[in-house]
Amino acid sequence: MKISFFGAAHEVTGSCYLVETEQVRFLVDCGMFQGGPEAEDKNRQFPRFDPEHIDFVLLTHAHIDHSGLLPRLTNLGFRGPVYCTPATADLLGVMLPDSGHIQEKEAEWQNYAKRKNRGRATREIAPLYTVIQAQNCLKHLRTVDYASESKPHPQVRVLFRDAGHILGSAILEVWVTEEGARTKKLVFSGDLGMPMRPLMNDPTPIESADYLLVESTYGNRLHKGLQETIDELATAVNDTLHHKKGNVIIPAFAVGRTQEILYLLTKLMHEGRIPKNTEIIVDSPMATAATQITLKYRELLDAESQALLRWERSQDGPAHIRFTETVEDSIALNHIRHGAIIISASGMCNAGRVKQHLKFNLPRAECTVIIAGFQAQGTLGRKLVDRAKSVRIYQESIPVRAKIYTLGGLSAHADQAALLAWLQHFKTPPQQTFVVHGEEETALGFGALIQKNLGWSVAVPTAGTVVDC
């Protein structure tokens, strides 16, 4: 058996791993690279294998850095099934066509800019994939419930376990049987959630694996405590809306992060820490749809979240959360000068409606931008976190005068302590542990920490690494 690492190796995005024996070839995840021109080149070069020879795909969750190249895979010849949880399938029904729309619009903008700058016809840039190709990809989805064994191939059986990261996210336990050899168990952590965080249950403990692939997004740091984060959120909202008389802009992943922020703002209203009449606007069609899907699967949420949902739906709940519907509704938000919390995608600020809100609010010292999630190298969000004095949005230089808050405690990823705690549930060390889904220095450091603290055999593969198991 071989495992090939095609993404999220010495970096955070582009998760994609190929497992192959003489009898079967399958992928775990098929994610898009994110973070500037280099990432775009990698997406264009994908895949570095023949899609027609892949038997099936196992998908850990719906985030685009894990699922976003599925339409490209199917458009280039993949014909097999894609296995995921029911909630993930519902989210992909929104996210992949939206991603296709973004690809089309980005290509359209690049072609317009080329024609404008060069003043003559140039070779058109094609979108990475289209909305129609994304919709066609959805026909390949096959759903599997948590803890329900699936057999996608005679030599492979799979269990999906709750990863506690976002709705429908899964840890994969995969048993692969080769002719003439013993069955080997692979475990793919996917993205692990932070224990005791809003909405999601804690990640499921796993006790054994022959080969383990574990994420390391925050393997080099500890998150702020949740209560400290909630306090900081309350301070930022009250200071901006009621003292400085500005707006609060929150770039947020449409799936997971938006719902967490709505939960926390509702909780603050429930506790009287921010006024119930605070205007909260969710400006993202995908986030609206993802929130509806979250409510559909409310039985997957933790007990506290379900209780808060009941309060929110009662007569005492907040009446000032609204979801925009049209482009015109979104554009109208640019005229709001103060008093609004605008939650908008994308979470790394590289695409979507949030770029427009940043363009109008970043130059204003009375406004605040709250960064509430991981920002990959090269993204607009990362530049804000790194305290850039100005940024480029739609080919314009925009001064950064707004206050930038970074709420590390809202991360949907386990921090270093939580990752180590999850690993300590293994009753015996895996034969080999591969540290993935972390920027180079972070992944290498976390790998060394596992070796030091647990005494395990650890490797930190680079992109293109092929390992015999």
Q: Report the run of H or E that residue 150 belongs to, with start and end.
A: strand 150-153
Its pTM stands at 0.87
pLDDT band at residue 121 using 50, 70 and 90 as cut-offs: low
pLDDT band at residue 141 using 50, 70 and 90 as cut-offs: very high
Q: Report the run of H or E that residue 45 belongs to, with start and end.
A: helix 37-45
Rounded Cα–Cα distance for residues 160 and 453 (Å): 28
Domain boundaries, the chain: 2-221+412-468, 226-410
Sheet holding 150-153, edge to edge: 150-153, 156-162, 170-176, 184-188, 211-215, 432-436, 458-459
Q: Which of 124, 434, 106, 167 is nearest to 297 (CA)?
A: 167
pLDDT (average), residues 358-373: 95
Taking all residues of the chain, what is their mean pLDDT, rounded to a whole number? 92
Percent of the chain with pLDDT over 90: 74
Winning range, highest mean pLDDT, from 104-118, 129-143, 325-339: 129-143
Query: Is the CA virtual torsion 326, 332, 338, 339 positive or negative?
Result: negative
Strand ranges in 13-100 using DSSP code E only, listed in sequence order? 16-20, 25-28, 56-58, 82-84
Instruction: Report whether 278 contacts 269 (CB < 8 A).
Output: yes
pLDDT (average), residues 165-191: 95
Domain 2-221+412-468 has CATH 3.40.640.10: no
What local confidence, expressed as pLDDT, does residue 315 receive? Answer: 52
Q: Is it the case that residue 468 has pLDDT exceeding 80?
A: yes
User: What would the pLDDT profile of 265-296 be if each residue is shown by its tens digit?
Assistant: 988 988 899 988 889 999 998 899 998 999 89
Site of tokens 């009446």: 319
Q: Which of 367, 362, 374, 380 is nearest to 407 (CA)?
A: 374
Range from 99-113, 304-318, 337-351 carrying the lowest mean pLDDT: 304-318
Q: Which of 124, 66, 129, 123 is nearest to 103 (CA)?
A: 129
What local confidence, expressed as pLDDT, does residue 317 receive? Answer: 52
pLDDT band at residue 407 using 50, 70 and 90 as cut-offs: confident
β-pair type (156-162, 458-459):
unpaired
Instruction: Report whether 84 contacts 59 (CB < 8 A).
Output: yes
pLDDT (average), residues 364-387: 91
pLDDT band at residue 442 using 50, 70 and 90 as cut-offs: very high
Percent of the chain with pLDDT over 70: 97
Rounded Cα–Cα distance for residues 81 and 54 (Å): 10
User: What would the pLDDT profile of 194-236 be if each residue is shown by its tens digit?
Assistant: 998 888 999 999 999 999 999 999 999 998 888 999 999 999 9
What local confidence, expressed as pLDDT, does residue 316 receive? Answer: 57
Range from 121-135, 172-186, 356-370 carrying the lowest mean pLDDT: 121-135
Q: Is it the case that residue 329 has pLDDT exceeding 70?
A: yes
What local confidence, expressed as pLDDT, does residue 368 receive? Answer: 97
pLDDT (average), residues 366-386: 90
Residues in the chain: 469
CATH topology of domain 226-410: Rossmann fold (3.40.50)
Burial 40-56 (b: 16+ CB within 10 A, else e): bebbeebbebebeebbb
Site of tokens 């302590």: 417
Rounded Cα–Cα distance for residues 279 and 277 (Å): 6
pLDDT band at residue 261 using 50, 70 and 90 as cut-offs: very high
Range from 82-96, 115-129, 253-267 carrying the lowest mean pLDDT: 115-129
Q: Please give the residue that has the higher pLDDT: either 378 or 468.
A: 468
Q: Do 226-410 and 2-221+412-468 fall under one CATH topology?
A: no
Q: Report the run of H or E that residue 406 belongs to, with start and end.
A: strand 403-406
DSSP conformation letters of 408-441: GGG-SS-BHHHHHHHHTT-SS--SEEEEESS-HH
What local confidence, expressed as pLDDT, does residue 35 receive? Answer: 80
The DSSP bridge partners found for residue 5 are 17
Q: Report the run of H or E that residue 105 belongs to, with start and end.
A: helix 86-118
What local confidence, expressed as pLDDT, does residue 254 receive? Answer: 84
User: What would the pLDDT profile of 411-432 be if each residue is shown by its tens digit?
Assistant: 889 999 999 999 999 999 999 9
Q: Which of 215, 189, 213, 214 is nearest to 203 (CA)?
A: 189
Query: Is the CA virtual torsion 314, 315, 321, 327 positive or negative?
Result: positive
Q: Is it the case that residue 65 has pLDDT exceeding 70?
A: yes
